[in-house]
């Protein structure tokens, strides 16, 4: 038995080493970093322990801007993408012909490189000296004057970021929702059919309650994912996100760590912990709200 004990841990050893070195140790370390004041990268020393890093980050206008951008992005994309995904999934579940084809097509954005396809979105929306860009041409048909969505006014840039984010997160949501819709027991629908219930009522009274746990799961993961938005913004606006006014919290963390504005792991750590606390709070609120509305059979 003793021999077996050792063997078990031996098989686990590689996993423990990797996880310990690159997941557990950093987690503890980042907490320490965030409280070490004026940490010096070169000498690896600090002047003391305290909350200065947090107060610096919370007073940094770049961080506040990133915070605002992230909150707008979350508030717009999470409800929007969940709702569109629900519509599409319900529509998809009600047809038989071509369903596989549609499912495959809808999943395509999931397997593409966010940065690469982001470039395509950029050229679709960008206004250059040579062309207004396809989107502007289309909007022009409806009588709108051209806007530079990539280098222009704030609302336009935010709009593109939201559009691209919705486009990118949709495959996951559609996949999960169609799976959930398919697993609803048919007897409920048959019973409703016998009673002559209208389609809308069936949806509200049967489908929605049955899939509410899945819907709720998507909302939580959607919130978490949107709070961590970063590469979408880089894909559209380039790496100088502060200059483009389009930075996100995660972008702020990396900027503090690296690049021309980098070299401040303490500030980066403090910002990362703040982000973590925000996500945790929102998730807890979500859980509390769900207790009231989600139907677990």
Partner 1 sequence: MDFDKIEKTARYKRRALNTLIYVFLGIWALIVLFPFYWMVLTSLKSYGSYNAEWIPKLFTLDLTLENYFSAFTAVPLAKYFLNTVIFTLGTTALMLAVTVLAAFAFSRLEFRGKNLAFTLFLSLMMIPGELVVITNYVTATNLELRNTFTGLILPSVASVFYIYLLKENFSQIPDELYYAAKVDGTGDLKYLFKVMIPICKPTIITVTILKVIECWNSYVWPRLVTDEQAYFLVSNGIQEIRENGFGRDNIPAMMAAVVVISVPLIILFLIFRRRIMAGVARGGMKG
Q: 99 vs 293, which CB is nearer to partner 1?
A: 99
With left for phi above 0 and alpha for psi between -120 and 50, is residue 148 left, alpha or beta? beta
Shortest CA distance to 224 belongs to which of 181, 159, 169, 291? 169
At its nearest, how many Å lie between partner 1 and the CB of residue 156? 19
Q: 76 vs 270, which CB is nearer to partner 1?
A: 270
Separation of alpha carbons 177 and 192, rounded Å: 21
Q: 116 vs 288, which CB is nearer to partner 1?
A: 116
Separation of alpha carbons 90 and 99, rounded Å: 12
Query: What is the enclosing helix (H) or strand (E) of 49?
Result: strand 48-49
Cα distances from 58 to residues 121, 129, 158, 187, in angstroms, run 33, 40, 23, 55
CB within 8 Å of 227: residues ≥ 6 apart: 70, 74, 249, 275, 278, 279, 282
At its nearest, how many Å lie between partner 1 and the CB of residue 198? 12
Q: 48 vs 129, which CB is nearer to partner 1?
A: 129
At its nearest, how many Å lie between partner 1 and the CB of residue 218? 11
At its nearest, how many Å lie between partner 1 and the CB of residue 208? 18
Separation of alpha carbons 79 and 113, rounded Å: 24
Q: 112 vs 293, which CB is nearer to partner 1?
A: 112
At its nearest, how many Å lie between partner 1 and the CB of residue 234? 7
Q: 284 vs 293, which CB is nearer to partner 1?
A: 284
Burial profile 203-214: b = 16 or more Cβ within 10 angstroms, e = fewer: eeebbebbbbeb
Q: 2 vs 59, which CB is nearer to partner 1?
A: 2
At its nearest, how many Å lie between partner 1 and the CB of residue 281? 14
At its nearest, how many Å lie between partner 1 and the CB of residue 173? 11
Structural tokens at position 2 = 């003793």
At its nearest, how many Å lie between partner 1 and the CB of residue 102? 5
Shortest CA distance to 113 belongs to which of 168, 74, 175? 168
Q: 125 vs 290, which CB is nearer to partner 1?
A: 125
* 77 contacts 224 by C-beta, under 8 angstroms: no
The structure tokens 């403090």 sit at: 270
């Amino acid at each position: 038995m003793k021999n077996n004990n050792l063997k078990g841990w031996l098989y686990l050893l590689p996993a423990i080493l990797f996880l310990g070195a690159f997941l557990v140790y950093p987690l503890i370390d980042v907490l320490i970093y965030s409280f070490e004041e004026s940490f010096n990268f070169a000498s690896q020393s600090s002047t003391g322990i305290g909350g200065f890093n947090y107060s610096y980050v919370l007073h940094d206008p770049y961080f506040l801007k990133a915070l605002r951008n992230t909150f707008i992005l979350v508030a717009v994309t999470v409800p929007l993408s969940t709702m569109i995904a629900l519509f599409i999934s319900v529509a998809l579940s009600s047809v038989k012909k071509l369903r596989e084809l549609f499912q495959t097509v809808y999943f395509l954005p999931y397997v593409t490189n966010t940065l690469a396809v982001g470039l395509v979105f950029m050229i679709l929306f960008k206004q250059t000296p040579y062309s207004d860009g396809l989107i502007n041409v289309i909007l022009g048909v409806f009588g709108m004057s051209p806007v530079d969505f990539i280098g222009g006014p704030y609302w336009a840039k935010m709009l593109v970021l939201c559009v691209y984010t919705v486009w990118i997160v949709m495959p996951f949501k559609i996949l999960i929702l169609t799976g959930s819709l398919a697993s609803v027991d048919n007897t409920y629908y048959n019973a409703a059919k016998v009673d002559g219930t209208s389609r809308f009522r069936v949806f509200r009274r049967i489908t929605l309650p049955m899939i509410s746990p899945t819907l709720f799961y998507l909302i939580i993961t959607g919130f978490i994912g949107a709070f961590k938005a970063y590469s979408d913004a880089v894909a559209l606006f380039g790496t100088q996100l502060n200059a483009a006014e389009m930075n996100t919290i995660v972008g702020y963390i990396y900027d503090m760590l690296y690049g021309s504005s980098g070299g401040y792991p303490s500030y980066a750590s403090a910002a990362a912990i703040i982000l973590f606390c925000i996500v945790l709070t929102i998730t807890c609120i979500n859980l509390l709200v769900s207790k009231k509305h989600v139907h677990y059979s």
